[in-house]
Structure 1
Amino acid sequence: MKRPNEDETSAGFWYRLKSGRLPLKYYYAGALIIFGVVILFISSGGTEEQEISITPEREEINSSTEDQEKNEQTSTSLKAGDDYAAAFEGELQDHLEAISGVSNVQVMIRTAGSEEKVFEKDRTARHQQTDELDQEGGERRVEEGTAEETIVFERQGDADQPVLKQTRTPEVTGVLVVADGVEHMKVKEWVIEAVTRALDVGHHRVAVLPKSEVEEDE
């Protein structure tokens, strides 16, 4: 019996495919292959879209967190500066009203930054010197130095507390004084002198003005 060659078998297969005479198993196999390709394509595309959508969200969250931390630090610094200024405003107002001819004083102080605490530190410095020979027989001297600082603590009650060395007050950038009586030049000079000495600021940073007559009538 003559066996069909490869060309005849292939031609017969395509003929039966076109005429719809192939067994059902071929159609099932073809459908499964197509279905698998579609699933792989969808899975690949979906993963890329997911990565694209997730990455910006993470970046946005990180950026938002950093901005929030910066805003909180700035807000804390401004609040500390405002508290310091408010404390000095009340104290300065009391002293200015004690000056002869001055009354109904209002004070506004502007500062840069906030109060800074400086703690006592132990400092350790080390210096090392080494003489070396290079490959050509020459000598060279290598010097290295290190410095370390550690905050000093002392026992207070049941806990160790850092030793406070000094407290640096924020720089005063401007002072406004509004009061009765400063329309007289001599009284105004007294007020300016008192403010500049009390806050250690230059005369150009101090403004002294009389209260308006409308406010006095009210």
Structure 2
Amino acid sequence: MLYEWIRGENNDDGDRPSFPNKKSRYILVIAICLGLLALIWPVTRTDKTGNSTVRTSTISNDKKLNQQLASELEYILSRIDGAGKVKVSISLASGGLKTYAANTRNESRAIEESQNGANKKTTETNMSRDLAVSAGAPLLVENKTPEVTGVLVVAEGAKSPIIQEKLVQATSTLLNISPHQVCVMPGGDI
């Protein structure tokens, strides 16, 4: 039937073709084929470099956070009387904790069957979780800063036990860590 329509052969019904010439019919068939091809053509592309870029930026963000925290601590500790020049090194447990939003779907289905007079009831439950995405990126709900595991403070004035104690107390208070996680060492020309 399609072949006859394209060729423009007359039907037994006496209907005349809706398109007056063969060229317009061929163009219509080609347009339909191109439309179907566009529908089935894969749209998504895999980008292998995108994943490594995300990891690199996460690592550099962790380093920036560590450096920023250390420089702020250096500035504050150097303001303590008798501390002199101060250098700080901070050890972090991890890159922190990031919590992303997820869409949860629960589906349950009950099936009742009777065989030979015996009733059988089966319940099937499915739960699926999908990552919530906003503007092409996962939706971040919570971002916890990394946990500080230890701090090394090197100060010119740390030769005095009183200054050492002040530096330990200030560091443990600022970073909310216990004093045994802070090590203060005297330093020469920093």
TM range (shorter): 0.5 to 0.7
Q: Does structure 2 retain, via aligned residues, the 8 Å contact 1:112–1:170?
A: yes
- Higher Rg of the two aligned structures: 1
Q: 2:112 maps to what in 1? A: 132
| Alpha-carbon shift at residue 122 of structure 1 (Å) | 5.4
Distance 1:135 1:115 in 2: 57
Distance 1:148 1:103 in 2: 55
Relative distance call for 1:160 and 1:149 in structure 2 (3 A) is: closer
Distance 1:135 1:197 in 2: 72
Distance 1:114 1:128 in 2: 39
Please provide the CA RMSD for this pair: 3.7
| Alpha-carbon shift at residue 178 of structure 1 (Å) | 0.5
Relative distance call for 1:164 and 1:142 in structure 2 (3 A) is: closer
| Alpha-carbon shift at residue 91 of structure 1 (Å) | 0.6
Q: Does structure 2 retain, via aligned residues, the 8 Å contact 1:81–1:112?
A: no
Q: 2:71 maps to what in 1? A: 90
Counting aligned pairs with the same residue, the percent is 26
Where 1:103 maps in the other structure, the secondary structure is: coil
Q: 1:197 maps to what in 2? A: 173
Superposition map of 1:140-155 within 5 A: 140-151=121-132, 153=134
Q: Does structure 2 retain, via aligned residues, the 8 Å contact 1:104–1:179?
A: yes
| Alpha-carbon shift at residue 141 of structure 1 (Å) | 3.6
Superposition map of 1:69-80 within 5 A: 77-80=58-61
Superposition map of 1:52-201 within 5 A: 77-119=58-100, 121=101, 123-133=103-113, 135=115, 137-151=118-132, 153=134, 164-201=140-177
Q: Normalising to structure 1: TM-score of the pair?
A: 0.50
| Alpha-carbon shift at residue 128 of structure 1 (Å) | 1.6
Q: Does structure 1 retain, via aligned residues, the 8 Å contact 2:89–2:151?
A: yes
Where 1:207 maps in the other structure, the secondary structure is: strand
- Residue 209 (1) aligns with residue 189 (2): no
Relative distance call for 1:186 and 1:143 in structure 2 (3 A) is: farther
Where 1:195 maps in the other structure, the secondary structure is: helix
Q: Which runs of 5+ in 1 are unaligned?
A: 1-65, 154-158
| Alpha-carbon shift at residue 203 of structure 1 (Å) | 2.8
Q: Does structure 2 retain, via aligned residues, the 8 Å contact 1:77–1:113?
A: no
Where 1:201 maps in the other structure, the secondary structure is: coil
Q: Does structure 2 retain, via aligned residues, the 8 Å contact 1:81–1:111?
A: no
Deviates more, 1:137-146 or 1:104-113: 137-146
Q: Deviation per CA, 1:178-207: give whole Å up to 9, x if none.
A: 012223333322222222232233333221
Q: Deviation per CA, 1:10-29: give whole Å up to 9, x if none.
A: xxxxxxxxxxxxxxxxxxxx
